[in-house]
Amino acid sequence: MKNFYATDHELVAALLAGDERAFRSFFETYFPRLYRFVLPRLGRDAQASEEVVQAALIKAVRGLPGYRGEAALFTWLCQICRRQIADYLRAHKRYSDNVVLIDDSPPLRAALESIEAPAADEPLHHYGHQETRRLVQSVLDRLPSRYGDVLEWKYIEGRSVEEIGEALGIGHTAAQSMLARARSAFREALETVFGSTTQDLLASMRGQ
């Protein structure tokens, strides 16, 4: 589906106006991202994660009139998810399963959020392979627009530029241009979060 909304403000304004396309774009963009945000925090319990994300999104749509745009929409949604996770753990008395992730540490959280609102942050590095893998996936989720999806479609699923354009409802040239912007945003985001180039990070993951 084409992403018709260049900014979070535009998307929220369309949602408040009752635009069905905006709702589909909102849900299809953020449900999978929030699911991936919650999943590791609930011990990879898929059903619990779905329950928490659904509850968080319900809270979010009810609270949309109060969204002021002071934080990126995804950051705002993550904040609601954090509260929902705490409620879920408390209600289910699963304190022992409360997972504290490295990306919940203040510096890394700030760096991840800075992908949406660039700022000067100290580079972060020296994580284990699994942590790095998950953080790179978090970076994909934090990229603006649907850059994360575009990159995954192209380089993991092997879709052609035409197929990507079709999925997004845009032409070949626009899809190619979006892919180039997505690569550039991804490279810059990795450097912000890890403080190293894609090549160095790859070498470090492979233990070179």
Count Cβ atoms below 10 Å from residue 2 Cβ, excluding itself: 13
Interaction mask 163-192, other proteins, x per CB under 8 A = --------------------x--xx--x--
CB 11 within 8 A of CB 73: yes
Among the listed ranges 2-10, 117-125, 164-172, 194-202, the one in contact with other proteins (CB under 8 A) is 194-202
93 phi/psi in degrees, rounded to 5: 50, 45
Binding-site size, other proteins (CB under 8 A): 62
Element (H, E) at 99: none
Indicate which single residue of 48, 53, 111, 112 sits in contact with other proteins (rule: CB under 8 A): 53
Question: Using CB atoms within 10 A of its CB, is residue 70 exposed (0-12), middle (13-18) or buried (19+)?
Answer: exposed
- The smaller minimum CB distance to other proteins, of residues 27 and 172, is found at 27
Among the listed ranges 4-12, 80-88, 117-125, 160-168, the one in contact with other proteins (CB under 8 A) is 80-88
Q: Is 32 in the site for other proteins (CB under 8 A)?
A: yes
Which two three-digit tokens encode residue 205?
């993951």
Indicate which single residue of 43, 65, 69, 123 sits in contact with other proteins (rule: CB under 8 A): 65
